Structure 1
Amino acid sequence: MKSFRADYVFPVSADPIKNGVITVDDYGKIVSISTYAQPGVEVEQLSGIICPGFVNTHCHVELSHLQGKTPKGSGLVEFIKAVQSLRTVDDDIIQAAAAEADKQMYDNGIVAVGDISNSAHSIAIKKASKIYYHTFVEAFSFLPANADNAFQAAIELQKQFKPLSASVVPHAPYSVSKELFKLIKNYSDTHGNNLLSIHNQECEDENKFYRYKNGKFLELYDGFGIDISYFKPQARNSIQSVIPLLSNKQKVLLVHNTCTNLKDIYFVKRFDRNINWCFCPNANLHIEGRLPKIELFLDEGFNITLGTDSLASNDKLSILSEMATIHQKFPSIPIGKMLEWATINGARFLGIDDEIGTLEPGKTPGLNLITNLDGLKIIPDTQVKRLL
């Protein structure tokens, strides 16, 4: 066994313990948490906060080779164009970058990831990783006639990820037809563990497209040679249009939410859906140059999680960095609340909270040490070190 003492231990499942001591066995399983050491066990004295390992509920490992190659602040449509034009390179380049991204997340104290995949490039990395992965295999097609083929392609890719945990999900409101949504819903209604994730309201143009059928998405479809003459304005925001199309039998993760407003939140609350929200603030700044109105979500009773998005839209894959960005913009949100988002809430969504997410005897959540804080405030110099 080994023991660590720090200025504070944040179990997340209970109040912080000042000068707390946490003891683990040789397999990383927690034996005890208290203010005193186990008899005969040497205690390593540390400065900072000990907390559980982080959970990253939204990433695109297979896009890691695009780091530094997409324009900043150009908006979602230009970002999509850049990714589509740059993503196809030699498999060796993609897999080497993905392996490095996996190592970076591990070193940054991330123990579990909800990862988006549109190809098989990340399978070998995930099978060899020390990190737990659930893969969201995205289905794409905004053309009703292509719905069956797009769905079957996603099903076939999902099979390649087995026995790793994987599910079939819609990419985004602007890239999935109602016909494809229906196929995914029917599948989700009849298959036990098909966790859902969908990119949501990343820019104002997404809402404009759904409400009025105008904005930059028309340019995107035209550039890709996609005839969307069939699509009619919905007279409401994208989230209000697609929530009824999602299964009520599965947990749903709405990702980004950059332009989600209070009316959207209240609309979601009226539906019988198990909604979770994921914020990826650094990617929001990279793509749109703005953050979601996170304060609107705080008291609405939803499960909130954090993600990094990809290295195509982020400088690094660090949940601590996402917390620092939130803390800078929303200083009233305490570190304890953000640690919930970064640990147990993500574990609950992924269905692995019996093992990770909190510091409790019998669990193996991993241990992170957060240092260089200003009291209990995260500052730009704050760092994370993985203890276990």
Structure 2
Amino acid sequence: MVTKILSRGGPACGYLAVRFLIGMGLLVSLPLALLVVWLPDVRRGLVRLARFERSQAARYLGLPEAVGTWSFKRSLTLLGLPFVAVPELFVAVVAVVGAPAALASMALWKVDPGNVSLMGLGVDNWLEALTLGPLQVLVSLAVLGWGAPALARRHARVVYDVLAPNEAEQLSQRVEELTRSRAGAVDSHGAELRRIERDLHDGTQAQLVSLAMRIGIAKQMMAEDPDRAAKLLDDARDGAEQAMNELRGVLRTMYPPILSDRGLAGAVSALCARCPLPVELRLGELGHVPAAVEAAAYFVVAESLTNITKHSAAGHVDVLMERRGPELYLAITDDGIGGARVSAQSDQLGRGSGLHGMLHRVEAIDGRLELRSPIGGPTTVEVVLPCAS
């Protein structure tokens, strides 16, 4: 219980404390900056701060971080940060210091009776110390586990909403996202073609060349040494089987055979059944799903379950897949530690690159992927894939 309270309250108090420091820094530096710095530089600095604050709010809430431009007028709302940061810091201090201070006051009240306080009241006897002390511990733990996280989420949500880009900025952001997704899809497609070419060249092609040589040698030796020729043909047969297995492996990465055999619902059910963690699978009506969408959905579930098993420390996974009009909706949720991020390179724990590849696979067919993974969890990957032909 205490561990859960600390995991919830620690990041919340840290978030509120940093907002206080930024607010006080803004309060002190802005008047000086207006005196000694060019106004356009001040404007740019405030816009960059607004972008940073919304990014931090999105990170804390586990929401996607918006990119693009921010207007100066919207950034002016940050001038109210110092006024809300002071009471927020008070809550964070109470949450962090309240319990240790209560234990210290309970033990040391006799050193200075009447001047040691618990719950804001002076303590001059053991009855008050043993009554007010545990009460202050409980109150501070409640603030740490529930009050501070609720306040931090509320602050982050207000910042996230108030500093949201307007329609023109959202349109510009969407254009940038489409440009980036198309470039990523082209790069991903090129990398996939190079991988397939490499697998075929280094594996299957080498096996087929060796197979042709063995058959040719066996044909020449058939009359003079039939036993050795027969052995070469046996080796050639084994080589042909190995080449077929390698070719199946290459094809499996392009379109898993289980999708052809059992359909998308059956393939995803098999993935969930093989997962070492308990998985609750909820399947709605899927209707007709194009092959490219089937493959993308299958690989999203496979990669998500792999990531959860390796990195999340989760105890349960929930998978929802259903048709919503012309789109296939997919959501994978786990109750793990959270903190997942999409990045091109893996972090020190090996996380991130798998989600990056998943994002490219989804965007390549004009789908959308949203990751929500606040610190402490839960983590949800939502994917929407267009199914209209």
**TM-score computed with the length of structure 1 as normaliser:** 0.23
- Rg larger in structure: 2
Q: Which structure dedicates a bigger proportion of its chain to strand?
A: 1
If each structure's helix is expressed as a fraction of its own residues, which one has the higher value?
A: 2
Report which structure shows greater RCO (CA 8 Å, sep ≥6): 1
